[in-house]
Structure 1
Amino acid sequence: MSALEVTLRALSALAAFLVLPLVVGQAEHKVMAHMQGRLGPMYAGGFHGWAQLVADGVKFAQKEDIVPRAADRGVFRLAPAVALVPYLVALAVLPVHPGVAAVDVPGSVLVVLAATAVGALGTLMAGWSSANKYSLIGGLRAAAQLVSYELPIVLAVASVAIAGGSLSLMALADAWTPWWLLWQLPGAVVFLVAGVAELQRPPFDMPIADAELVMGAWTEYTGLRFAFFLLAEYAGIVVVSVLFAVLWLGGWQGPFDDTLGWLWTLLKAFGVAIVVVWVRVSWPRLREDQLQRLAWLWLVPLGLLQLLLTGVGVVSGW
C-alpha cells in the first residue's frame, strides 16, 4: 500500500469520525424530541430544527475554559483527549465494505476491544483530577462499571470470533450467514446491553447521575473540554453500532453488496444507534446495585452460555 493511499484512508477515517458522531447526536435530538414531545430542538434554524447542532457548537466554543484551583491540571486537561482519541483508533480499523478500512490489521477485533476499554478511563481521570467529591464518586462508579461490563462484551465478541474462525472483522463479516441471527442471538443481546453500559448511557449512566452527582466526573468541565466528552459519547455509539452491524448483522451483506456494501453497513449501524437512543428515552436509570447485579448475575452467565453454545456448534459442524 502506497503512502498516498495510507494518507487518504487516514483522512477518510478522520472525516468519518468528525461527521458520524455529529449525525448521531443530531438524530438523538430529533428522536427524543418526537418520542418525548420536546419542542425546543425542532425549531432552531427553521426546517426541523437543523441549526440546533450548530447552536450547541457555538455555545460550547464561546464558554470559558475553567480549571479548578485544586485540580491536577495536567490530568484534568488530558482526560477529554483520553476519552475521545481511542474511539478514533477503533473507528480506523472498522470495515464498512469488503477491503475498505482506514487500517486493515489481522487482529482488528482485539484492537477495537482494547481501544474502547481505554476510552472509559478518561472518565476516571476526570473524576480523580477534578478535586471534587461528586466528580470522584462518578469516576469510581465509572471504574466499577468498566470492570463489570467489559467481561460480557469480550465473551460476546469471542463467541462470534470462534464461530467465524478469525480475529479479523473483515473475515468475520464475510463468514456471516443469516443463521447467525438465531445462533448468536444471546451474544448479540449481551453485547448491546453491555455496550450501552460501557458508554455510560441511560439507563446505565450512574457515573453521571445528575440527580445524585450533579454531572459526575464531568462536573468541573466547561466549554470545549466538556463538549469533547459529549463527542466521545456519540463516537462510542458509532463504534458500538458499526461493530454490532459487522459482527451480528453481516455488515455490507445485502442487495448489490459489491457496490453498495458500505451503504448497508451504515444503514444497519444507524438502526442500532436508533435503538440505543430509544433505550435512553424509554428506561429509567438503574440503581448502582441493580447495575452490578445485571452484569454479574445475568450478562456474564448468558455470555458464558453463548460461548458454550458456539463451542458445541463449531465442534459439531453446524
Structure 2
Amino acid sequence: MPEILITLIKIIAIVFVFVMGLASLLTLFGDRKLSAKVQNRVGPMQAQFFGQSLAGIPHFLSDAVKMIFKEHVAPKGAHKFLYAIAPSLVFIPMLLGWAVIPFMDHYCVGEVQVLANYQEVCHGEYKNYFQIMNFNSGLLFAFAIASVSVYGAAIAGWASNSKFSMLGGLRSTAQMISYEVSLGLSLAGILLIYSTLDFNQMVLEQGTMLWGWIPLWGIVMQPVAFFIFFLAGMAETKRAPFDLPEGESEIVAGYHTEYSSMNFGIIQLSEYAATIFIAALITVIFLGGWQVPYLYADGFYFGGIADPALHIELPYIVTTVLRVVAMLSKIVFIVWLQFMMRWTLPRFRYDQVMVLGWKILLPLSLANLVITAIIVAIF
C-alpha cells in the first residue's frame, strides 16, 4: 500500500473518526448526560426519533443541524479578517497536535521476540501504522503547536469589538500563559528520567516492571508531576473549574460571546478536542500509553519472562489490538475524570486561579525538578 494512502487512512481514523467523533459526543454525554447524573436529573430527552429519545442522540443531532443552519453574524466594528480566522487559530492546533500521539508501537511485519529484559525485537520490518508522524521530538512539537491556541483566544476577544469578549480574551491569555510554565516544568523530571523527547520511546521505557509486579509508568516515577500536569492541563483547556475566560455569570460567554453558527461550534469543538488531547498526553507520559501490565508482543507473562508456566500465548495481532484498546480506554478514562471534576467542583475566582498557578503549582514543579535531579545524579 502506498505510504501516502497509509498516512491518509491514519489521519482519517485518528483525527476525524476518533478525535472529532469523541469531541462531538462529549457535547452530549460529557456536558449534558453526565451533568444530569451528577445533579440527579434526567438530562436531554425532548428531541426524539420516531418517538424514541435514544439516550439523547436526537438532541445531539438537532444541535448539530441548528449550528450549521444558524445565521453567521459579525458584530459592528469587528475586525473582519481577524474575527473570521480566530476560530481556526483555536481549532487547528488542537488537531495538528495529534500528529505525534502514538496509539501503539511500530508494527512488526515479521516475527517478534521478547528478550529476558522485556525488550521486544522485530525480526522483520517495522511499519508506522499507529502514529501519523514519527517524530523524535514529539513532546516539543505537541507543546509548540498547542501554544498557538493562545493567540486564537486573544485575537477572538480583541477582534469582536466587545468588552465582554475582550475581558475573556485577556483572562484566557493570562491563564494559559501562567499554567504553561508549570505544565512544562512538571515534565522536566520526566525528561531527566527517560532522557528522550520521543513519545514512542517514553512509552517503551514505561514497559518495564519493578520487582516483577509494579509497572514503571510515569505516574509511579513522578506522582507529583502527574498531579501538577493534570491540574495545569485542565486550566489550559479552559474548562470548569478553570472556565474563567468563559465565566457566564460575569462576562456572558467570554472571548466567544460574539460568535454564532459554525464559528461558535468550531470554538466549542476545539475545547472538547483540547480536553481529549490533554488526556492523550497524560496517557502517553504518565499512564504507560499502550502498555498493559504483563502483556508483551507474544502474550501475557504473569510470572515474568523467566517463568514460561504462567505465559498465556497470544497472536501478535491480538496483542496489538489489546494495546490499542488499552490506549483508547486510558484516554477515555482521563476525559471522564476531567468532566467529573467539571461537574463536582465550583468555579474558582480569578485571583484563586492565579494564586494556584503561581504560588502553588509553580513552586511544587520547581521543587519536584530539584528533588528529581538530585535523585538521578545520585543513582
Mapped partners of 1:182, 1:14: distance in 2 = 30
1:16-61 alpha-carbon deviations (Å, 9 max, x no partner) = 3321212333330221121113423255432221222212111211
1:89 corresponds in structure 2 to 96
Aligned match of 2:205 in 162, 175, 184?
Answer: 175
Q: How does 1:230-269 map to 2 (within 5 A)?
A: 230-254=268-292, 255=295, 257-269=319-331
Deviation string 1:258-312 (CA, Å, 9 cap, x unpaired) is: 4311110110111100111011111111111111000011111111122223223
CA distance in 1, matches of 2:195, 2:25: 34
Q: Is the 8 A contact 2:28 2:56 kept in 1?
A: no
For residue 155 of structure 2, the aligned residue among 120, 125, 143 is: 125
Asked if 2 retains the 8 angstrom alpha-carbon contact of 1:9 and 1:103, the reply is: no
Match of 1:158 among 160, 172, 188: 188
Cα offset for 1:136?
0.5
Q: Which residue of 2 is the match for residue 58 of structure 1? A: 65
* Cα distance change, pair 292–273 in 1 and its aligned pair in 2 (3 A): same
Q: Distance in 1 between matches of 2:145 and 2:46?
A: 37
Query: What does residue 19 of structure 1 align with?
Result: 21
Partner Cα separation in structure 1 for residue 257 and residue 179 of structure 2: 24
Identity %: 30
Measure the CA separation in 1 of the matches of 2:277 and 2:367.
25
* 1:171-230, Cα deviation, whole Å (9 max, x unpaired): 101111534433311111101101111111111111111111011111100111000011
Partner residue in 1 for 2:83: 76
Give TM-score scaled by structure 1 length.
0.95
CA separation in 2, counterparts of 1:44 and 1:175?
A: 49
Secondary structure of the equivalent of 1:51? helix
Letter in 2 for 1:83: V
Q: Which runs of 5+ in 2 are unaligned?
A: 107-129, 209-214, 300-318
Q: Give the counterpart of 1:291 among 350, 353, 356.
A: 353
Q: Answer 1 or 2: which has greater helix percent.
A: 1
Structure 1, 99-108 or 69-78: larger mean CA deviation: 99-108
Equivalent in the alignment of 2:241: 203
Q: Distance between the aligned counterparts of 2:35 and 2:13, measured in 1? A: 30
Contact 1:137-1:217 within 8 A present in 2 as well? yes
Show the counterpart of 2:372: 310
Deviates most, 216-225 or 117-126: 117-126
Of 103, 106, 109, 2:136 maps to: 106
The number of aligned residues is 317
User: What is the match of residue 39 of structure 2?
Assistant: 36
Rate the CA distance shift 1:132–1:19 in 2: closer, same or farther, 3 A: same
Moved over 4 A (4+): none
Structure 1 residue 121: Cα displacement: 2.1
The answer to whether the 8 Å contact 1:95/1:169 transfers is yes
Structure with greater proportional strand content = 2
Contact kept in structure 1, 2:33 and 2:43, CA below 8 Å: no
Q: Which amino acid aligns with 1:230?
A: Q
What is aligned with 1:272? 334
Larger Rg: 2
Q: In the superposition, relative to structure 1, how do residues 90 and 221 fare at CA in structure 2: closer, same or farther (>3 Å)?
A: same
Q: C-alpha separation between the residues in 2 aligned to 1:200 and 1:4?
A: 36
Query: Distance between the aligned counterparts of 1:265 and 1:70, measured in 2?
Result: 47
Gap regions ≥5 residues in structure 1: none
Q: How far apart in 2 are the matches of 1:185 and 1:292?
A: 23
Distance 1:32 1:42 in 2: 14
